[in-house]
Amino acid sequence: MSMMNAIRKEFRNELIVLREEKRQLESLVIKKREEITAIRMSLAIEMCAHCEKENVIEWDVKKQGYRAFCPNCGKRLMLCGECTLHENICDYNPDEDICYRTVEEMWIELVDIPLTIDEDGREYFEKEFSLCGHEFPAGIEKNEVWGWFNRHHPKGISYLINEFEEGSGE
């Protein structure tokens, strides 16, 4: 075997080793990227509208929902970044401090508010109540509350009734 053939054979062997090392490194990079993505997906990074501090909290919206509280001031923390990350939409209205996710949470909480029916069949809430910080006065009729939900949810009251049966206030 000539010297040139020996060098070529050695070169081919090294090339095979290098290709295998490259494949292993690429596999490790993909695994690390997946780990980093999993870590990032477990964190919510949001600016608190109340104390104006940036917060990084471990949060899983699929398990814990979109209602969080600022670790600095304790007030409600809007998770708008999570909405845009998962659905590419944020309809937060700062004037009313509400978004469709808040409306859905309020709808679910409404089931805990006792509904009174008088002798004329009028359905109303006897006592004032608060849902996610939004106040409703004593004596407000069920239809008026449902109208509020219809105006504040982009899919309306029909969606809330059908999607979240437990929040109908009945």
CB within 8 Å of 130: residues ≥ 6 apart: 136
Give the model confidence (pLDDT) of 22-72 as tens digits: 999 999 999 999 999 888 888 889 999 889 999 999 988 888 888 789 999
Bin 110: left if φ > 0, else alpha if -120 < ψ < 50, else beta: alpha
pTM: 0.64
Give the model confidence (pLDDT) of 130-157 as tens digits: 998 889 999 999 999 999 999 999 999 9
The full set of domain ranges for the chain reads 1-41, 43-88, 91-170
Q: Classify residue 132 by burial, with Cβ atoms within 10 Å: 0-12, 13-18, 19+.
A: middle
Return the pLDDT at 1: 65
Facing residues of 123 across strands? Answer: 117
pLDDT at 170 > cutoff 60: no
Give the model confidence (pLDDT) of 82-131 as tens digits: 887 767 778 888 788 888 888 998 999 998 999 999 999 999 999 999 99
Q: Which of 116, 102, 111 is closest to 161 using CA atoms?
A: 111
pLDDT at 168 > cutoff 60: no
Alpha-helical (H) ranges within 42-165 are: 61-64, 80-86, 100-109, 142-152, 156-163
Any idea what DSSP says for residue 45? E
Facing residues of 129 across strands? Answer: 136
